[in-house]
Amino acid sequence: MVRSAGIDVAVPRGWDAEIYQRDGDFTGQSAGDAGASRPVVHLGTFPLPSSRGDFGSGAVEIMNQDDLLVVLFEYGRESVGTPLFARSGIPRVAAADFGPNNMQRPIAGQSGAQYFFNQSGRAFCLYVVLGAHARRNELVPEVNQVLAGLTIDPE
């Protein structure tokens, strides 16, 4: 179990996990709360490299076909209640959601899926990368197993 910033993750056997605080001046997307620190959760079936980007750059490159990367990225308070985050509750993923073009940066053979949602008054993006798009039917249940062990408390 890994716990930080009101987020609990039951880490499956053999997975790596880390919950860290990203800088508040995040500029890649509108994360809001300028200056505020927000948590990012990374879970991987492989050794997570010590240097990697919020959405997995530096990690996805070393994934093999059986690997999975799950990213949970929290946005600022002003995002709560906006249409993008209208979906309530931690999503469950489906094989049909994944596509090579959903990757932050496409890598041959891999595919990704992205979900925006709110939980406990907080706004999140869930981003999942599959090591092999061709194996999505086998890999997706593992992702949902991880998501079932994820708990998000109110701030």
Partner 1 sequence: MTAVLIIEGVAIILLAILVVGLLRSNADVLRALHELGAGEPGTRTTGSRHQHPAPQREGTAPDVSGSTLSGSAVHVGVTGTGHPTLLAFLSTGCSACMGLWEGLATGVGRIGGDDTRLVVVAKGPEAESESRLRELTPEGVSLVQSTEAWTDYEVPVSPYFVLVDGPSGSVIGEGSAGSWNQVTSLMSQALADAGTGRPDRIDNGELRADAELRRAGILPGDPRLYHDERPGNGRGMSA
Residues near partner 1, by CB under 8 A: 1-4, 9, 11-21, 47, 49-51
CB closer to partner 1 out of 7 and 123: 7
CB closer to partner 1 out of 56 and 85: 56
* Tokens encoding 30: 């509108």
Least distance to partner 1, CB of residue 78, Å: 25
Least distance to partner 1, CB of residue 25, Å: 16
CB closer to partner 1 out of 38 and 103: 38
Least distance to partner 1, CB of residue 68, Å: 12
Interatomic CA distance for residues 21 and 128, integer angstroms: 19
CB closer to partner 1 out of 18 and 97: 18
Place of tokens 């949970």: 72
Q: How far is CA 29 from CA 2, 39, 57, 75, 101, in A?
A: 26, 15, 15, 9, 18
Pairing of strands 38-44, 68-75: antiparallel
Least distance to partner 1, CB of residue 64, Å: 9
Least distance to partner 1, CB of residue 154, Å: 19
Interatomic CA distance for residues 7 and 27, integer angstroms: 23
**Which alpha helices (H) appear in the chain, and where do they start and end?**
136-148
Interatomic CA distance for residues 11 and 45, integer angstroms: 10
In the DSSP assignment, the letter for residue 23 is: P
CB closer to partner 1 out of 14 and 83: 14
